[in-house]
Amino acid sequence: MDITNQINANNYPGSSAGVELSIFIDEAEAVLNGVRGGLLVFEQSGDSVLDLEIPLVRAKSLRQKAAAAGLPEIGLLIADLESAISVIITGDADGRRKEIVRALDLTARIEAQIAQIRMNGGEIFGDVSHFVEESFGSIRGDEKNLVMANAAPEETAAEEEFEIDEELLEVFKAEADELLQNIKINLEKLAANIADREALWEIRRNAHTFKGAAGVVGLKKQSELAHRIEDLLDRVAESKTESNVKIFNLLLVSTDLLDEMTSGGNSDAVSKRIAQVYGEFEYIIQSIKPSEDKTPIAAAETAAETTVPEKDHDSQEAAEEAPKSTEKRPVVRVSLDRLDDLAAIVRELVIGRALFTRKLAELENQIEELHNISRRLSSTSGRIEHDFGTSLHPSGFSGRPGSPFSASPSDRKNEGGYDQFDSLEFDRYSEFHQAARELTETSSDALAVNSTLDAINENLISLFDRHRRLTDELSDKLAAIRFVSFGSLKTRFERVVRVTCDETGKKGDLILENGDIEIDSQIIDGLVEPMMHLLKNAVVHGIEPAETRRLLGKQETGQIKVRLTDEGTHFIV
């Protein structure tokens, strides 16, 4: 069956079905590219199924959208692709290779059918509203209005309400936080060196990834804004233009907007700021004139890669010795409720450890008491055997004078002393002698049992000490999970200060002291809103306009210091 037979007559420009199909094609290309990347990475490493979990979730969402777009055949292929990825994740090492090849083949088949749809539709899916607005803007001759008209985001069909998969949205937020953090790190590098092209390239790369991820989820505003960042940096690279303060400030504001929208901000004020940022993007992009010798970013990247072997030997050794701090590590988002459940279990372990300590002490006391009893038993059995055993012999001999069982001298004289003792009289020992001998053996056994109990007790103490260390370590690490550094709020605080300064026409910098102190995440969450309010007031009421500060002999840029002090039992901000 030809895939083009699935396209109904309504899939033409201007119709809602055509717009949905165009959106689906764009998202499908981004998702399939990510699936192929995840498969290839897993084939190379083969030790982390996390590389395939996000592609699996995205493939599931894409299958649902294929069904909604009226493409059942592509939906069946995507379902086969999901099955192959699931087998790769749960299967053994022998069958994974075969399933990886099958998954890559399915990905290529889906891409071929997507390309066939795009080719049969030509470029009819392109939105012509941009061209119409530009034409009428040229007729009016108002360049400034043209820029603002072009900057207006397309909020008609692209922003139709639809249900976003919660699981996919959670995965996107985790990925978006990492991408935005990378952008902020490179913005700091760009602030230190405005001409750092490597930082610009990293910002562009992360913005491109953010655009694709937001588009897959269905967050059109975020995807469009990231696309504008990518277009701007592409123009900068193609024209060989050096970065400047305007570009840096625009990237800074755009990153703040992406961060705010990803955190859930979607108010009218945010939409108004987005429209203003779009206007600035269009104005700056149009002001950058293309270079006659255009160098695409891909070519620039290839050229940079080919020059790597020319680096000196020392640089290569330094790069090899540098720690791989940029390697991606899997991150799992866990709710505080689950952490509280684990904390409750740890508390039960601590209580059980205290009870075990008490019982272990009682056991040591009983072992010590058993030692005393064994020693008394041994002493008594020895005394009975030595003092009383021979006195009960018919000869009346006693080894100790004065024994109540010893014979008197006259008796011994009458009985002829020791001369009357005969070896044949050994069979005349009584049961008392046998009981005395058994008592002596029992005391020896008791001493042996005591030694064994001592060894068992030492082993129990050793195991208990190990259990106590593990419990303490578990408790400390569990508590550390809830703790975050106070410095993690610096970016948000800086954004508040920067936005407030822009609104009031003032200049201010934020200085955060002791940001490495860690605080419980719930306390951090409770501090955010009050601190943001205080910082706004600090800018509005504590910093004068630049002209006034110059007249007063102050620097134009004011400073707001936020200091955190650990007092042991509490913190002071």
- Mean pLDDT throughout 162-191? 78
For residue 390, name the pLDDT band (cuts at 50, 70, 90): low
β-pair partners for 520:
483
CATH class of 485-572: alpha beta
Average pLDDT on 89-99 reads: 75
10 pLDDT more than 50: no
Q: Is the model's pLDDT at 493 over the cut of 70?
A: yes
DSSP reduced 3-state for 498? helix
In the numeric block, which tokens belong to residue 99?
A: 């399933």
C-beta neighbour count of 209 within 10 angstroms: 19
What is the band of 159 on the pLDDT scale with cuts at 50, 70, 90? very low
Which residue type sits at 373? I
CA-nearest of 490, 564, 487 to 532 is 490
Which pLDDT score, from 0 to 100, does residue 93 have? Answer: 67
Structure tokens at 270: 């945010």
Are the CB atoms for 374 and 447 separated by under 8 Å?
A: yes
Cα–Cα distance between 274 and 276 in angstroms, integer? 5
**For residues 394 and 432, what is the distance between their CA atoms, to the nearest angstrom?**
13
Q: Are 40 and 97 in contact (CB under 8 A)?
A: no
Mean pLDDT, range 246-256, rounded to an integer: 86
Contacts of 52 (CB under 8 A, 6+ apart): 38, 39, 42, 85, 88, 89
Q: Residue 280: CB partners within 8 Å, gap ≥ 6?
A: 151, 250
Q: What is the DSSP string of 53-109?
A: HHHHHHHHHHHHHHHHTT-HHHHHHHHHHHHHHHHHHHS-HHHHHHHHHHHHHHHHH
What is the spatial distance between Cα 451 and Cα 455, in angstroms, rounded to a whole number? 6
Nearby residues of 296 by Cβ (< 8 Å), 6 or more positions away = 237, 238
Per-residue confidence (pLDDT) for residue 253, from 0 to 100: 86
Q: pLDDT-based confidence at 26, cuts 50/70/90? A: confident
Taking 70 as the threshold, does the pLDDT of residue 328 lie above it? Answer: no
CA distance 99 to 87: 7
Q: Which tens digit of pLDDT belongs to each residue from 427-437?
A: 555 677 677 77
Write down the pLDDT at residue 478. Answer: 80
| Res 399 pLDDT > 50 | no
Is residue 193 pLDDT above 80, yes or no?
Answer: yes
- Answer for the pair 186, 199: CB distance below 8 angstroms, yes or no: yes
Strand-pairing partners, residue 563, are 513
**Where is pLDDT greater, at 334 or 454?**
454
β-strand partners of 558: 508
**Mean pLDDT calculated for residue range 337-358:** 83
Q: Tokens at residue 377, please?
A: 């038993």
Report pLDDT for 311. 42
| Predicted pLDDT at 391 | 56
Q: Quick: pLDDT tens for 219-237.
A: 888 888 888 898 888 888 8
Higher pLDDT, 265 or 418: 265
Dist CA 216 CA 379 (whole Å): 87
Residues 294/238, Cβ–Cβ less than 8 Å = yes
pLDDT score for 2:
46
Q: Do 28 and 114 meet the contact criterion of CB atoms below 8 Å apart?
A: yes
Q: Is the pLDDT of residue 57 over 60?
A: yes
Alpha helices per DSSP H over 322-394 = 336-383
Please report, for residues 75, 288, 337, the alpha-carbon distance to residue 333 in angstroms, rounded to integers and kept in the order given: 30, 42, 12
Would you say residue 422 has pLDDT above 70? Answer: no
Mean pLDDT confidence for 89-114? 80
Which positions ≥6 away from 330 have C-beta within 8 Å?
Answer: 48, 50
Name the CATH topology of 129-153+165-307: Four Helix Bundle (Hemerythrin (Met), subunit A) (1.20.120)
For the segment 135-150, the average pLDDT, to the nearest whole number, is 44
Calculate what percentage of the chain has a pLDDT beyond 70: 69
- Quick one: pLDDT at residue 562? 92
Task: Give kind and range of the element (H or E) at residue 509.
Answer: strand 508-513
Confidence bin at 121 (pLDDT 50/70/90): low
Span 251-262, mean pLDDT?
Answer: 86
- Helix H or strand E segment including 565: strand 565-566
301-323 confidence digits (pLDDT tens): 444 444 444 444 444 444 444 44
CATH number of this structure's domain 3-121: 1.20.120.160
Distance between CA 15 and CA 19 in Å, rounded? 6
Q: Cα torsion at 422, 428, 432, 437 (round to 10°)?
A: 60
At residue 389 the predicted structure's pLDDT band, cuts being 50, 70 and 90, is: low
Element (H, E) at 166: helix 166-192
CA 149 to CA 135: how far, in whole Å?
11
Q: What is the mean pLDDT of residues 80-99?
A: 79
Of 222, 253, 250, 221, the residue nearest 236 (C-alpha) = 250
Vertex 410: Cα angle to 407 and 412 (nearest 5): 50
**pLDDT the model gives residue 164:** 63
Give pTM, 2 decimals.
0.41
Distance, in Å, from the CA atom of 7 to the CA atom of 380, rounded to the nearest integer, reads 105
**Mean pLDDT computed over 535-539:** 90
Rounded Cα distance, 198 and 427, in Å: 107
User: What confidence score (pLDDT) does residue 560 get?
Assistant: 92
Question: pLDDT value at position 51?
Answer: 66
Considering the chain, what is the average pLDDT of its residues?
73
Q: Which of 24-33, 182-191, 283-292, 385-394 has the lowest mean pLDDT?
A: 385-394
pLDDT recorded at residue 482: 77
Q: Which residues on neighbouring strands pair with residue 565, listed in sequence order?
A: 572
DSSP letters of 182-241? HHHHHHHHHHH-TT-HHHHHHHHHHHHHHHHHHHHHT-HHHHHHHHHHHHHHHHHHHTTP
